[in-house]
Structures are given as structure tokens and as C-alpha cells.
Structure 1
Amino acid sequence: MADPPAAGLPEDEVQDRLVRLDTLLERLEQATGPVAEIAAQAVEALTEVYGTALARMTALVDGLPELASALTRDELVHHLLILHGIHPQPVEERVARVLDDARPALRTGGAVELAEITGDVARLRWSGSRGCASSAAAVERALADAVLAVAPELRRVEVTPAERAPTVIPADSLLRRPATRIPDGTA
């Protein structure tokens, strides 16, 4: 059964409005004078009121996991919740979820994991075959893009190779004598 249609503007019109809004806000930031200051204050007040309304909505759906999940799956609502700092899922959970989703696409047989989030930087560890430099760079870029899509509050994603186990037998193990068996079965 398909999800019911979302209320409001169709998605393509939402995208058009967001582009237009970005342009208008850029123009407003460059404007000077008392009218520009009043307009900026009006936008800030409106944003605070809508943020408060969203916070109240998230409080109302607390304890209703299906409804909370439906809200966070909607891309526009998801980004607004992040913008206002009220997304119900911590950034670490959102990043871990997107990495879980990305693992099957890492045809390299490797693994990717969240090493840490410090400030606005996520650090990922990636193990497995890295292939040629351009392939590795493409995978790293795709991972970073996927993380930033679910956690736009982050500024940067760093992907580093995971430490690999040595593939060479350590020399000191070659010099050790094997244990001898004693007839009663103990070494």
C-alpha cells in the first residue's frame, strides 16, 4: 500500500521554493537600511515561531515511534528538524543508519564504520579493497555525500583507511620453536 500523498506543495514546487528562498535570503543579507533590518528581524521571528511549532509537534509524537519515524522520513521535515536542532535521532544514529544502508553498495567487500564525530566533523573508517585512486575517491565522495545528506549539521566527512592486520608473518614467530608433545597429551 502506497503512502498517502503529502499535504502542501508537490515536491518539485517545494524544491523551486527552496531555491527561490535561498536567493531572496542572500539578497536580504546584502541589503542595508532600516527596511532590510526589519525584514531580517521578521524572517528570524518567523523562523523561531515555526521552530517552536515543530518542537511541539515532536513532543506530541514522542512515544509514538511510527509517527515519529514517518516525520523523519519526510525529507523536508527531516531537514527542518535538523535546522531547528530538534531532530529526534542523534546525529550518530543517523550516520550509522546511512552507513548500514551503504554497505551493500561497497562492492569492494570492505566495511565502513563511524569512527567518531568531533564537533562538526565525522570520521569514517573504511576497510577493504580500495582499487584505483579514482575509484577510491568516488567511494569516499559517495560516503561523504550520503552522510551529509542525513546530517547536514556536519561540515565535513573524513574517510580514512582502517588499520589492517599485518600480512607478513612476524620474524620473531619464525624463530620460536614449536611446542613438543608429551605422550600424555599435554604440550
Structure 2
Amino acid sequence: MWDVERVRRTLAELDGRLAELSERADAVALDAVRTLVDVYGEALARVTALIEKAAPEVSDALADDELVGHLLLVHDLHPHEPETRIRRALADLRPRIVAELTDYADDGVTVAIEGVARSGVSDATETVEAVVRAVAPEVTDVRVRHRSEPAFVPLTAVRAR
């Protein structure tokens, strides 16, 4: 079985190849890929419907798998709504990045990040945006707000002399 890194690397390579195919405007090849995706999507929809009837608890395990979850997203079959997926993905960033979903609408989200050093704000923002877009591709607008930490003022600076 593929490990998580291999899944991520392969999906990234596939995205690149599909982009190249699209840039070349190879209509026949793109149509073949679309048809294949549609057929596999229908088969996957049937499998998930059977699983939901027979063992509903299995749906969570499938959704949590890196590759299967991705396929469920591609085919709009993921059992969890976008808000749940986003909250879980943000929780997975801890302790490196502490992020909280503060506003959710059908097409946009706001995420608050706290405890990030100023030098790391850009990287944290990019990471959060990428994570949200990966688990909720239907979200078109990701806003990231930074909650600043109160400045540390040493006691000696405020003490009367």
C-alpha cells in the first residue's frame, strides 16, 4: 500500500500532467479522461451507497483515508460537509499552526491563526489556504486573519523606580 507521501506526490504529478494535457488542447485525450472519471465516479457512488447501507461507520474511515477521501471529493461523494472537513484539517495542523475556522459561508471561509511569529506569517497563511482548498475545493474564497499575541512587557519597564 502507498504511504501518505506517495499518495500526495502522485496526486500532485497527476494534477501537473492533466494541466499539461489541457494546455496542449488535446480535446480527444481530455474527453477520454473525462469519460473515464465519470465512469469511475459512478462506480464509486454505487460502492459508497452500498457501504452506507451495510456499514455506515465505514464511511468515516473511507473519508479519512488520504487517497479515498480525495476521490470522494473529486466525485462530490464525501460524507462530511465542507465545514467539518475544514475544522478537522485545521486541527491536524496543530501544534505547528493553531488555526480556527471563524466564519463559514457557501463560497468563503475565514480562518484565524494565532501564535505565529511575524517571520512565519506568510508560510502559515499559505499552508492554511492550501489545506482549506485541498479539503474543501468548493470554497472559492479563503481569508486568513492573524490574531496577534500581546507584546511582552517586562515588569521592570513598568515598575516605579
Establish whether TM, by shorter chain, passes 0.5: yes
User: Helix, strand or coil: the match of 2:93?
Assistant: helix
- Runs of 5+ unmatched residues, structure 2: 150-161
Aligned to 1:147: 132
CA 146–163 in structure 1, closer or farther in 2 if over 3 Å, else same: same
- Runs of 5+ unmatched residues, structure 1: 1-5, 165-187
CA 122–49 in structure 1, closer or farther in 2 if over 3 Å, else same: same
Question: Conserved in 1, the CA contact under 8 Å of 2:7 and 2:67?
Answer: no
Answering whether residue 111 of structure 2 is matched by residue 83 of structure 1, we say no
1:18-37 pair list within 5 angstroms: 19=13, 22-23=16-17, 26-27=20-21, 29-31=23-25, 36-37=26-27
Aligned to 1:171: none
CA 157–25 in structure 1, closer or farther in 2 if over 3 Å, else same: closer
Structure of greater relative contact order (alpha carbons < 8 Å, 6+ residues apart): 2
Letter in 1 for 2:42: T
Aligned to 1:42: 32
Letter in 2 for 1:45: T
From the two aligned structures, give the one with the greater helix fraction: 2
Bigger-Rg structure (1/2): 1
TM-score by length of 2: 0.68
TM-score by length of 1: 0.60
Question: Conserved in 2, the CA contact under 8 Å of 1:58 and 1:88?
Answer: no
